[in-house]
């Protein structure tokens, strides 16, 4: 059992060298394979966990690689390992009226406030998503300003999706998917 504060989720990415650039989506969907297909990934995928997939991590690459896996019941995570996530694809993903959250950090100091698809359109994240992380001090946990801000956003996503990031988050079986050039507009 780890003695780490559960709100200190960003440290797991820092420890694995995955914090130089970050983009992850949490997709309300029943199955990660359906999400992989909806992303128009090449048929040939690699079954692996994120600890294995990180060998292909390139912060600013022209090749788009996304690792897709189960997150919690009813939720799928899609972590961009290389290149850019085809976020334009998000509103066409499998589950009708399913919610989607996307959080990114560009590696140059700018964190984008998470974007949200409410099942029918892109919208601002409802204010109640921020209340619990604020009350619990999630934005005060971490190694500095970037970590504190990421931990705040990650806590809001954890409370919404029902799962915090920990070591097992990275060892969940999933698929490393290559998104072919031109599959989605940039």
> CA 45 to CA 62: how far, in whole Å?
18
**Residue 154 burial (CB < 10 Å; 0-12/13-18/19+)?**
buried
User: How high is the pLDDT of residue 1?
Assistant: 46
pLDDT digits (tens, 9 = 90+) for 120-138: 888 888 888 899 999 989 8
Residue 162 binned pLDDT confidence (cut-offs 50, 70, 90): very high
User: How high is the pLDDT of residue 170?
Assistant: 93
User: How high is the pLDDT of residue 57?
Assistant: 80
Classify residue 185 by its DSSP letter. Answer: -
pLDDT digits (tens, 9 = 90+) for 85-118: 766 677 667 667 788 898 988 877 778 878 888 8
Would you tell me how many other CB atoms lie within 10 Å of the CB of residue 95?
18
- By DSSP bridging, strand 122-123 and strand 174-179 are unpaired
> What's the chain's length in residues?
186
User: How high is the pLDDT of residue 143?
Assistant: 81
Q: Report, as an integer, the average pLDDT of 42-56.
A: 88
The better pLDDT of the pair 50, 117 is held by 50
User: How high is the pLDDT of residue 78?
Assistant: 94
pLDDT digits (tens, 9 = 90+) for 171-185: 999 999 988 887 776
> CA 24 to CA 105: how far, in whole Å?
9
C-alpha closest to that of 99 among 162, 170, 183:
162
- For all residues of the chain together, what is the average pLDDT? 86
Statement: residue 62 has pLDDT above 80:
no
> CA 41 to CA 59: how far, in whole Å?
20
Q: List phi, psi (to 5°) of 4.
A: -65, 140
pLDDT digits (tens, 9 = 90+) for 9-42: 999 989 988 888 888 999 999 899 988 888 888 8
Task: Name the strand (E) or helix (H) holding 82.
Answer: strand 75-82
Residue 67 binned pLDDT confidence (cut-offs 50, 70, 90): very high
What percent of the chain has a predicted confidence (pLDDT) above 90?
Answer: 35
Statement: residue 186 has pLDDT above 60:
no
C-alpha closest to that of 178 among 40, 20, 27:
40
- Residues 115 and 136: beta-carbon distance below 8 Å: no
């Amino acid at each position: 059992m780890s003695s780490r504060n559960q709100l200190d989720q960003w440290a797991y990415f820092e420890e694995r060298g995955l914090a130089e650039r970050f983009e992850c989506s949490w997709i309300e969907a029943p199955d990660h394979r359906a999400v992989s297909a909806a992303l128009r990934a090449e048929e040939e995928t690699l079954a692996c966990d994120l600890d294995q997939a990180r060998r292909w991590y390139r912060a600013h690459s022209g090749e788009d690689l996304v690792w897709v896996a189960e997150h919690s019941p009813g939720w799928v995570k899609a972590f961009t390992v290389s290149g850019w996530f085809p976020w334009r694809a998000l509103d066409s993903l499998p589950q009708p009226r399913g919610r989607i959250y996307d959080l990114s950090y560009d590696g140059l100091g700018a964190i984008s406030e998470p974007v949200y698809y409410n099942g029918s359109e892109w919208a601002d994240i409802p204010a109640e998503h921020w209340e619990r992380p604020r009350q619990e001090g999630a934005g005060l946990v971490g190694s500095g300003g970037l970590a504190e801000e990421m931990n705040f956003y990650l806590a809001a996503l954890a409370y919404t999706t029902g799962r915090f990031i920990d070591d097992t988050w990275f060892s969940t079986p999933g698929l490393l998917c290559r998104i072919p050039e031109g599959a989605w507009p940039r």
